[in-house]
Structure 1
Amino acid sequence: MANHGTDNKAMVWESNDQLTMGSRMSPGKTEDNRPPVDPLPTVESVGHMQRPKYPTTYVETLENHLKSNIASGMFAMGDAFKNAGLLLAPVLTMFLGVLCVFNQHILVNSANKMRERRKLNYYPNFDDTVELCFDAGPPFFERHAKNGRLAVNFFVTIAQLGFCCVYIVFVTSTTQQILHYFGYAMEIHLNMVITEMFIIVTILIRNLKYVAPLSLFATVTMVIGIALTLYISTEDIPPIADRRAVASLSQLPLFFGTVVYAYEGISLVLPLQTEMKNPEKFSTPLGVLNVGNLIVTLLLLSIGFIGYLKYGEAVEGSLTLNLPYDYMLSQCVKIAIAVGMLLTYPIMFYVPNAVVWTAVVKRWGPFERPILYEYLVRILLSLVTFVMAEVIPNLSVFISLVGAVSSTALALVFPPLCDLAVRWSDQDFGPFAWRKIVDYITLVVAAFGFCTGTYYSMVEIVSSLRS
């Protein structure tokens, strides 16, 4: 999970909550039974995608990919390394990274295969792809095609709301330190209320066109913050022997949740490919997907290794919280990161709001004053994230929980299921059925991470609430 904002001017979104039974046609026929375009601008999780009027170049798409992955998850990597050990953490991070990227390739290939097989005149998105793949699979998958779409939208919504909760806790914790440095004492709950008031102002922006500049500014501040954080953290580093090489087994589930959270940018993979001038260059060996994730992996390894090596067992859920208190440059970094996170919130919030608002209109609409009701839904949904942030103020544990639950489902469950469904009829699993073996291994890893990560995160949350 991560900042999932992209250059929205390059995309055109059309609203559609599901593929109708009548729209499913046999190969060789063209499908175009989509409902009328909804006037509300929607996002990738609830609509079909069309080729943009102004497609992006390779470099521009790479920039968008990096923007979507530079966020709070990176600053939590020091805590992740603490939960695995200085020797084991890099190995497991690369393993999970390869697994996540491999599954992103599976999703892209499955979407392209479904578009070609069904001769679609639109580009299927994540939820479209899951439903189409399940519908093309054996009877068990076919029966659950609709449920697959609903499950994707559910987990995307939960993941994005989880990101929003993390941002509130992150901003509040950081501003508490900043205020204390300048001699102001404020009760943390009051600080959180003030933060929520600023957030409500940003989420009232309805059009993605006007949210995009906030995303750009947030990305710039985040990049500067990461660079300065690494610079400050490399001063007076202790010897490697002072840190644990391997952590206890009970801590590994927390590591798993944090790393998957940091890598979970899968919900924007298909939109990024769609907006490219040459989509075929997206998933080639030196394409955007591989190059972008290589850069992300190097950043995650650098921040995690340096963070844990520098601060040891005292490393916080965000590395910025460990920066020297009496160092003015540290405060500048914290201000930059806090502003970046605050402005990233409306980008994260746009997806769940679109899903929930579409469901509200479908259930109770149409409304005489739709804009008023939409604002009401936005405020209520934002207050939900505020309450969750109040209840679970432990940043590192919250990140692990979101990663274990939602990010695992999106990044490591749905792609292999799509792959199995599409390849099952032809038994096209390659020599020695290696594709089937890899899919099963991925599902086992996902099940282990989901169960253990959720359990240990909840144990830590209960413990922190009691204390």
Structure 2
Amino acid sequence: MSERQPLLQLQEQIEQEHGRTIARPDLRTSPDNGLVDVQSDNSLDSLEKQSKNDYRPSEHRTNEHPTSNLDTLVHLLKGNIGTGILAMPDAFKNAGLYIGLVGTLIMGAICTHCMHMLVNCSHELCMRLQVPALSFPEVAAASLDTGPIALRRYSRAATKTITTFLCVTQFGFCCVYFLFVALNVQEVVSHYFVKLDVRIYLMILLIPMILINMVRNLKFITPMSLFASILTVTGLGITFYYMLDNLPHVDTVTHMGSWSTLPLYFGTAIYAFEGIGVVLPLENNMANPQDFGGTTGVLNTGMVTVASAYTAVGFFGYLKYGDKVEGSVTLNLPPDEILSQVVRLAMAVAIFFSYTLQFYVPVNIIEPTVRDHFETERGKDLAANGLRIMMVTFTFVLAACIPNLGPIISLVGAVSSSIVALIAPPIIEMITFWPVGYGRYNWMLWKDIAILIFGLLGFVFGTYTSVAQILNPPVNI
């Protein structure tokens, strides 16, 4: 008998998490652990038709503090616009000016499409299982549970894999955020006062970082995200002022990078665009989730804004500073001007508050498991608080061990971001729609295979090149 979690057990687990009993048709488990409708041999088709006719997932969600469209847009922008946008000039350095320009727009389109794929699969599986909402790992498990019989035994492994890489990705973001804030504060303080080791600033940041991450509800994080968004827009505006001042000719920089550095560009770019971890939590928590997708929905509105900002910062940042550009373009701003120091502090504060949103994803996955080990509500709360303290401290320790911002950003992007953003979504979509088909000429299948190959190549070559640069850094780093 297979060790995988049966589909009915998955449904029961999901309904417990959402605090309600969900209606579902009369089902039983077949000898091969598949799902069978007792009234029909064609179980998946029957269940799918019944679900689509009778069940609307969003109508069964019971969010205590649902977010508005504006709240969700703010969270989406802050989930994608962080340290990655300031690293885009460094990415353009590795790709070349024109390759970076075209490649960033293409990367943005692919990543946005993968986000839509994940949301669409979630909707399809929610209707198929008649559950109100699914997390990223639950979508992966449910796709296998309702997919080809030969793959159903791997649903538990898929859950663990997605959960692991999702947590690794978000923890990687948190580590980079920690280091980014410390480096920019160090630049300002060292210019006016005394130069201290960056680890001193990391230690100073640890206590306030722990306190701010005790906030549990996404609704209450909105003011911090809004404040961070205002600071980010202000900081980027001033950064553009410096980048566009006395802009050199395009012939002063490399137009097309070498094959040896292109993987570094891929890693940094996918790191910058990888906000897929916050997509389902945001959509699941919306008051009007039907406004999330669509051509002019929250997702497209946010990601078009993000892609435009990334392309502009990368293009003009590299054109301005050339091969001397740092892992964060704020470190290239003139240190002897008050305005540039204000930018460093503004971006540092913005990223400090953005840490909370990135931290929300892994802690929301791990915390329920920890709370289940305690019976009293006081015990559950103490365990949850202890977990948050340990997790923030863990990212602090990792950040203290990071030797350089640029290669680490590329490594996080190549290893974990490519898996959750480019490799997992097409696999999930292929398995999810296996029972119902891939459209005329199997266009969906061929599209998913192309994205999967692209993600795998970026993962392999990006990881190898990033590790090589960390172990053998160039002389100018």
| Equivalent-residue separation in structure 2 for 1:211 and 1:53 (angstroms) | 14
Per the alignment, residue 16 of structure 2 pairs with 35
| Structure 1: runs of 5+ lacking an equivalent | 1-17, 26-30, 39-48
Matched, 1:147 2:183: no
Q: TM-score, normalised by structure 1?
A: 0.85
Question: Distance in 2 between the 1:32 and 1:458 partners?
Answer: 39
Alignment partners' CA distance in 2, 1:370 and 1:313: 52
**Aligned letter for 2:223?**
P
Which of the two has higher C-alpha Rg?
Answer: 2
CA distance in 2, matches of 1:252, 1:139: 40
1:242 pairs, out of 242, 249, 252, with: 252
- Of 440, 446, 451, the residue aligned with 2:455 is 446
Match of 1:280 in 2: 290
Task: Give the aligned residue type for 2:252.
Answer: D
Equivalent position of 2:110 in the other structure: 99
Offset from partner CA, 1:94-137 (integer Å, 9 cap, x none): 221111111111112111111222332x1222222211111111
Q: Which residue of 1 aligns with 2:8?
A: 22
User: CA 1:68–1:347 in structure 2 vs 1: closer, same or farther (change >3 Å)?
Assistant: closer
Alignment of 1:204-223 (within 5 A): 204-208=214-218, 210-223=220-233
Contact 2:63 2:285 in 1 (8 A): yes
Alignment partners' CA distance in 1, 2:211 and 2:288: 38
What is the CA distance between 1:278 and its match in structure 2? Answer: 4.4
The residue that corresponds to 1:305 in the other structure is 315
Question: Is 1:78 aligned to 2:89, yes or no?
Answer: yes
Query: Take 1:204 and 1:33, find their aligned partners in 2: how far apart are those partners?
Result: 25
Which digits, 9 at most, give the CA deviation of each residue in 1:370-424, with x for residues without a partner? 4444333323222221221122131111111111122111111221111111222
Partner of 1:231: 241
Q: Distance in 2 between matches of 1:91 and 1:137?
A: 37
Q: How many residues align?
A: 433
**Preserved contact between residue 5 and residue 155 of structure 2 (Cα < 8 Å):** no
1:229–1:386 CA distance, 2 compared to 1 (3 A): same
Would you say 1:169 and 2:179 are equivalent positions?
Answer: yes
Using the size of structure 2 for normalisation, the TM-score is 0.83
Q: Match for residue 411 of structure 1?
A: 421
Closer/same/farther in 2, CA of residues 359 and 118 from structure 1, 3 Å limit: closer
1:89 shift after superposition: 0.8
* Larger deviation, residues 353-362 vs 231-240: 353-362
Give the AA of the match of 2:471: V
**Cα distance in 1, alignment partners of residues 293 and 245 from structure 2:** 39
* Alignment RMSD: 2.7
- 1:284 partner SS: coil
Deviation at 1:33, TM superposition (A): 6.8
Which whole-Å deviations, capped at 9, do the CAs of 1:221-254 have from their partners, x for residues lacking one? 1121111111221111111000000111111111
The superposition leaves residues 419-443 of structure 1 with CA deviations (integer Å, 9 ceiling, x where unpaired) of: 11122233x2223322111111111
CA distance in 2, matches of 1:33, 1:437: 32
Distance 1:206 1:32 in 2: 21
| Counterpart among 378, 387, 407 of residue 377 in structure 1 | 387
Please give the alpha-carbon distance, in whole angstroms, between the structure 2 residues aligned to 1:140 and 1:456: 36
8 A Cα contact 1:392 1:461, kept in partner? no
Does the 8 Å CA contact 2:74/2:226 hold for their aligned counterparts?
no
Q: Partner amino acid for 1:82?
A: K
Q: How far is 1:207 from its partner?
A: 5.0
Q: What letter is aligned with 2:267? A: G
Letter in 2 for 1:22: L
CA contact (8 A) 2:371 2:384 kept: no
Q: CA deviation at 1:74?
A: 0.7
Distance 1:437 1:317, change over 3 A: same
Task: Report the more deviating stretch, 290-299 or 271-280.
Answer: 271-280
Q: For residues 319-367 of structure 1, give each alpha carbon's deviation from its aligned partner in whole angstroms, at most 9, with x where no partner exists.
A: 11111111110001111111111222233223323433444445x5457
Give the corresponding residue for 1:67. 78
Give the distance between the partners of 1:409 and 1:82, measured in 2 at CA.
24
Q: Secondary structure at the match of 1:449?
A: helix
**What is the aligned-residue identity percentage?**
36
Distance in 2 of aligned mates of 1:358 and 1:394: 34
Name the CA shift for 1:415/1:206 in 2 (closer, same or farther; >3 Å): closer
Q: Cα–Cα, structure 1 residues 107 and 161, in superposed 2: closer, same or farther, change >3 Å?
A: same
Q: Name the CA distance, whole Å, in 2 between partners of 1:444 and 1:232.
A: 39
Tell me which residue corresponds to 1:347: 357
Deviation at 1:59, TM superposition (A): 4.7
